[in-house]
Amino acid sequence: MKPIVQISLDLTDIEEAVKTAHVALQAGVDWLEVGTPLVLAEGLHGVRRLRSEFPDTPLVVDLKTMDGGYLEAEMMAKAGATHVVVMGRAHAETIKCVVQAGRDFGVKVMGDNLACDSMVDGAKFLEDLGCDYVIHHIGYDERRGLVAQGLPCPSPLDQLTEVVEAVNVPVQAVGGLSIDQAISCPSYGAPLVVLGAPLTIDADSFRTSSSNDLPSVLRTICENIHSQQIKKKYKQSWSFYQS
Protein backbone atom coordinates (compact mmCIF):
# COMPACT_ATOMS: atom_id res chain seq x y z
CA MET A 1 0.00 0.00 0.00
CA LYS A 2 1.19 3.50 -0.80
CA PRO A 3 1.36 6.31 1.76
CA ILE A 4 -0.81 9.44 1.66
CA VAL A 5 0.41 13.04 1.62
CA GLN A 6 -1.64 15.64 3.49
CA ILE A 7 -0.99 19.38 3.49
CA SER A 8 -1.99 21.36 6.56
CA LEU A 9 -3.35 24.76 5.57
CA ASP A 10 -2.12 26.51 8.71
CA LEU A 11 -3.24 29.87 7.35
CA THR A 12 -5.61 32.62 8.43
CA ASP A 13 -7.03 33.73 5.07
CA ILE A 14 -9.38 31.55 3.05
CA GLU A 15 -8.33 32.95 -0.34
CA GLU A 16 -4.70 32.16 0.41
CA ALA A 17 -5.74 28.72 1.62
CA VAL A 18 -7.62 28.00 -1.61
CA LYS A 19 -4.68 29.16 -3.72
CA THR A 20 -2.21 27.05 -1.73
CA ALA A 21 -4.51 24.04 -1.92
CA HIS A 22 -4.65 24.26 -5.72
CA VAL A 23 -0.84 24.35 -5.89
CA ALA A 24 -0.58 21.40 -3.49
CA LEU A 25 -3.08 19.18 -5.30
CA GLN A 26 -1.47 19.90 -8.67
CA ALA A 27 1.86 18.86 -7.14
CA GLY A 28 0.46 15.50 -6.02
CA VAL A 29 -0.84 16.07 -2.49
CA ASP A 30 -3.72 13.70 -1.64
CA TRP A 31 -5.54 15.26 1.33
CA LEU A 32 -6.20 18.82 2.50
CA GLU A 33 -6.22 19.83 6.14
CA VAL A 34 -8.05 22.84 7.49
CA GLY A 35 -5.37 23.77 10.00
CA THR A 36 -6.31 25.14 13.41
CA PRO A 37 -5.44 28.77 12.50
CA LEU A 38 -7.80 28.53 9.53
CA VAL A 39 -10.53 26.94 11.65
CA LEU A 40 -10.27 29.86 14.07
CA ALA A 41 -10.18 32.48 11.33
CA GLU A 42 -12.82 31.12 8.96
CA GLY A 43 -14.74 28.42 10.85
CA LEU A 44 -17.54 26.58 9.09
CA HIS A 45 -17.47 29.09 6.23
CA GLY A 46 -13.89 28.11 5.44
CA VAL A 47 -14.71 24.41 5.48
CA ARG A 48 -17.69 24.96 3.18
CA ARG A 49 -15.57 27.03 0.80
CA LEU A 50 -12.87 24.38 0.55
CA ARG A 51 -15.47 21.64 0.06
CA SER A 52 -17.08 23.67 -2.72
CA GLU A 53 -13.72 24.33 -4.35
CA PHE A 54 -12.50 20.72 -4.00
CA PRO A 55 -15.61 18.50 -3.98
CA ASP A 56 -13.81 15.16 -4.20
CA THR A 57 -10.77 15.75 -1.97
CA PRO A 58 -10.57 14.36 1.58
CA LEU A 59 -10.77 17.28 4.00
CA VAL A 60 -9.32 16.97 7.51
CA VAL A 61 -10.50 19.61 10.00
CA ASP A 62 -8.04 20.06 12.88
CA LEU A 63 -10.57 20.97 15.56
CA LYS A 64 -8.42 19.79 18.49
CA THR A 65 -11.71 19.03 20.22
CA MET A 66 -11.61 18.99 24.04
CA ASP A 67 -15.35 19.17 24.86
CA GLY A 68 -18.70 19.31 23.10
CA GLY A 69 -17.41 16.58 20.85
CA TYR A 70 -20.58 15.39 19.16
CA LEU A 71 -21.76 18.85 18.12
CA GLU A 72 -18.35 19.94 16.82
CA ALA A 73 -17.96 16.80 14.72
CA GLU A 74 -21.55 17.00 13.45
CA MET A 75 -21.19 20.64 12.39
CA MET A 76 -17.96 20.02 10.52
CA ALA A 77 -19.30 16.87 8.86
CA LYS A 78 -22.31 18.78 7.57
CA ALA A 79 -19.99 21.53 6.30
CA GLY A 80 -18.01 19.01 4.25
CA ALA A 81 -15.29 17.56 6.49
CA THR A 82 -14.30 13.95 5.91
CA HIS A 83 -12.04 13.76 9.00
CA VAL A 84 -12.07 15.55 12.38
CA VAL A 85 -9.50 15.67 15.19
CA VAL A 86 -10.10 15.03 18.90
CA MET A 87 -7.45 15.33 21.61
CA GLY A 88 -6.25 12.40 23.67
CA ARG A 89 -6.18 14.66 26.75
CA ALA A 90 -9.93 15.20 26.42
CA HIS A 91 -12.27 13.26 28.70
CA ALA A 92 -12.99 9.76 27.49
CA GLU A 93 -16.66 10.67 27.09
CA THR A 94 -15.75 13.49 24.70
CA ILE A 95 -13.69 11.12 22.57
CA LYS A 96 -16.58 8.64 22.55
CA CYS A 97 -18.95 11.41 21.46
CA VAL A 98 -16.71 12.40 18.56
CA VAL A 99 -16.40 8.76 17.51
CA GLN A 100 -20.18 8.33 17.65
CA ALA A 101 -20.71 11.46 15.58
CA GLY A 102 -18.17 10.13 13.10
CA ARG A 103 -20.20 6.96 12.72
CA ASP A 104 -23.49 8.86 12.51
CA PHE A 105 -22.34 11.37 9.90
CA GLY A 106 -19.80 9.37 7.93
CA VAL A 107 -16.57 11.08 8.96
CA LYS A 108 -13.34 9.50 10.20
CA VAL A 109 -11.92 10.42 13.59
CA MET A 110 -8.27 11.22 14.17
CA GLY A 111 -7.10 11.08 17.79
CA ASP A 112 -4.19 13.37 18.75
CA ASN A 113 -1.83 12.30 21.56
CA LEU A 114 -0.28 15.76 22.07
CA ALA A 115 0.83 16.30 25.70
CA CYS A 116 -0.24 12.83 26.86
CA ASP A 117 1.80 11.67 29.87
CA SER A 118 2.72 8.61 27.83
CA MET A 119 2.56 9.10 24.08
CA VAL A 120 2.32 5.35 23.49
CA ASP A 121 -0.40 4.82 26.09
CA GLY A 122 -2.23 7.87 24.74
CA ALA A 123 -2.22 6.34 21.27
CA LYS A 124 -3.59 3.04 22.61
CA PHE A 125 -6.27 4.91 24.56
CA LEU A 126 -7.44 6.72 21.43
CA GLU A 127 -7.58 3.52 19.41
CA ASP A 128 -9.43 1.67 22.19
CA LEU A 129 -12.10 4.40 22.19
CA GLY A 130 -12.68 3.97 18.47
CA CYS A 131 -10.49 6.54 16.71
CA ASP A 132 -9.75 5.61 13.11
CA TYR A 133 -6.25 7.16 13.14
CA VAL A 134 -3.66 8.30 15.64
CA ILE A 135 -1.79 11.60 15.32
CA HIS A 136 1.54 11.36 17.16
CA HIS A 137 2.15 15.02 17.92
CA ILE A 138 4.83 17.19 19.51
CA GLY A 139 3.23 20.60 20.00
CA TYR A 140 4.16 23.94 18.44
CA ASP A 141 4.42 25.80 21.76
CA GLU A 142 6.32 22.96 23.42
CA ARG A 143 8.94 22.91 20.69
CA ARG A 144 9.39 26.68 20.60
CA GLY A 145 9.50 26.99 24.38
CA LEU A 146 12.23 24.39 24.74
CA VAL A 147 14.30 25.94 21.96
CA ALA A 148 13.98 29.37 23.59
CA GLN A 149 15.35 27.89 26.82
CA GLY A 150 18.21 26.22 25.00
CA LEU A 151 16.85 22.78 25.88
CA PRO A 152 16.70 19.68 23.65
CA CYS A 153 13.59 19.60 21.51
CA PRO A 154 11.79 16.26 21.14
CA SER A 155 10.79 15.01 17.71
CA PRO A 156 7.74 12.90 16.84
CA LEU A 157 10.22 10.49 15.29
CA ASP A 158 11.66 9.72 18.74
CA GLN A 159 8.80 7.38 19.67
CA LEU A 160 7.19 6.89 16.28
CA THR A 161 8.21 3.24 15.99
CA GLU A 162 6.79 2.48 19.44
CA VAL A 163 3.50 4.24 18.65
CA VAL A 164 3.13 2.48 15.29
CA GLU A 165 3.77 -0.89 16.92
CA ALA A 166 1.31 -0.20 19.74
CA VAL A 167 -1.77 0.42 17.58
CA ASN A 168 -3.55 -1.19 14.64
CA VAL A 169 -4.74 2.01 12.98
CA PRO A 170 -2.72 4.30 10.70
CA VAL A 171 -0.43 6.82 12.40
CA GLN A 172 0.82 10.22 11.30
CA ALA A 173 3.73 12.10 12.90
CA VAL A 174 3.35 15.86 13.41
CA GLY A 175 5.59 18.52 14.91
CA GLY A 176 8.56 20.35 13.47
CA LEU A 177 9.74 17.73 11.00
CA SER A 178 12.24 18.61 8.31
CA ILE A 179 11.51 17.65 4.72
CA ASP A 180 13.81 14.63 4.96
CA GLN A 181 12.18 13.56 8.22
CA ALA A 182 8.69 13.87 6.76
CA ILE A 183 9.73 11.77 3.77
CA SER A 184 11.11 9.14 6.17
CA CYS A 185 7.82 8.63 8.05
CA PRO A 186 6.57 5.73 5.88
CA SER A 187 9.78 3.84 6.70
CA TYR A 188 8.59 3.85 10.34
CA GLY A 189 5.26 2.35 9.25
CA ALA A 190 3.40 5.67 9.45
CA PRO A 191 1.47 6.01 6.17
CA LEU A 192 -0.01 9.49 6.60
CA VAL A 193 2.55 12.22 6.00
CA VAL A 194 1.64 15.80 6.91
CA LEU A 195 3.23 18.84 5.29
CA GLY A 196 2.60 22.09 7.13
CA ALA A 197 4.56 24.55 9.24
CA PRO A 198 7.49 24.91 8.89
CA LEU A 199 7.80 22.85 5.67
CA THR A 200 5.31 24.67 3.44
CA ILE A 201 3.81 27.26 5.80
CA ASP A 202 5.83 29.95 7.61
CA ALA A 203 5.66 28.96 11.28
CA ASP A 204 5.89 32.54 12.53
CA SER A 205 3.49 34.40 10.21
CA PHE A 206 1.15 31.50 9.32
CA ARG A 207 1.40 32.40 5.66
CA THR A 208 2.29 30.23 2.68
CA SER A 209 6.01 29.88 2.11
CA SER A 210 7.26 32.73 -0.09
CA SER A 211 9.53 30.39 -2.01
CA ASN A 212 8.93 30.47 -5.75
CA ASP A 213 9.92 26.81 -5.76
CA LEU A 214 6.99 25.65 -3.61
CA PRO A 215 5.27 23.70 -6.44
CA SER A 216 8.48 21.86 -7.37
CA VAL A 217 9.38 21.25 -3.71
CA LEU A 218 5.93 19.78 -3.06
CA ARG A 219 6.14 17.67 -6.21
CA THR A 220 9.50 16.24 -5.17
CA ILE A 221 8.26 15.48 -1.66
CA CYS A 222 5.12 13.77 -2.99
CA GLU A 223 7.09 11.68 -5.47
CA ASN A 224 9.49 10.53 -2.74
CA ILE A 225 6.68 9.63 -0.36
CA HIS A 226 4.41 7.97 -2.93
CA SER A 227 7.29 5.79 -4.16
CA GLN A 228 7.40 4.00 -0.80
CA GLN A 229 5.34 1.06 0.37
CA ILE A 230 3.79 0.47 3.80
CA LYS A 231 4.21 -3.10 5.01
CA LYS A 232 2.24 -2.83 8.24
CA LYS A 233 -1.10 -4.62 8.22
CA TYR A 234 -4.18 -2.95 9.66
CA LYS A 235 -7.31 -4.42 11.19
CA GLN A 236 -9.43 -2.94 8.41
CA SER A 237 -8.75 -2.67 4.70
CA TRP A 238 -6.75 0.32 3.49
CA SER A 239 -9.74 1.40 1.38
CA PHE A 240 -11.54 2.19 4.63
CA TYR A 241 -8.85 4.67 5.59
CA GLN A 242 -8.50 6.20 2.15
CA SER A 243 -12.15 7.08 1.74
The residues spanned by each domain of the chain are 4-242
Burial class for 46, CB neighbours closer than 10 Å (0-12, 13-18, 19+): buried
Tell me: the pLDDT tens digits for 53-70?
999 999 999 999 999 999
- The confidence score (pLDDT) of residue 232 equals 79
Average pLDDT rounded to a whole number, residues 19-39: 97
4-242 CATH choice from 1.20.1440.230, 3.30.450.270, 3.20.20.70, 3.30.465.10: 3.20.20.70
Residue 234: is its pLDDT beyond 90?
no
| pTM, full prediction | 0.93
Residue 205: is its pLDDT beyond 50?
no
Tell me: the pLDDT tens digits for 164-195?
999 999 999 999 898 999 999 999 999 999 99
Sign of the alpha-carbon dihedral angle for 117, 118, 122, 128:
negative
Q: What is the DSSP string of 127-196?
A: HHTT-SEEEEE--HHHHHHHHHTTPPPP-TTTTHHHHHHH-SS-EEEESS--HHHHHHGGGGT--EEEE-
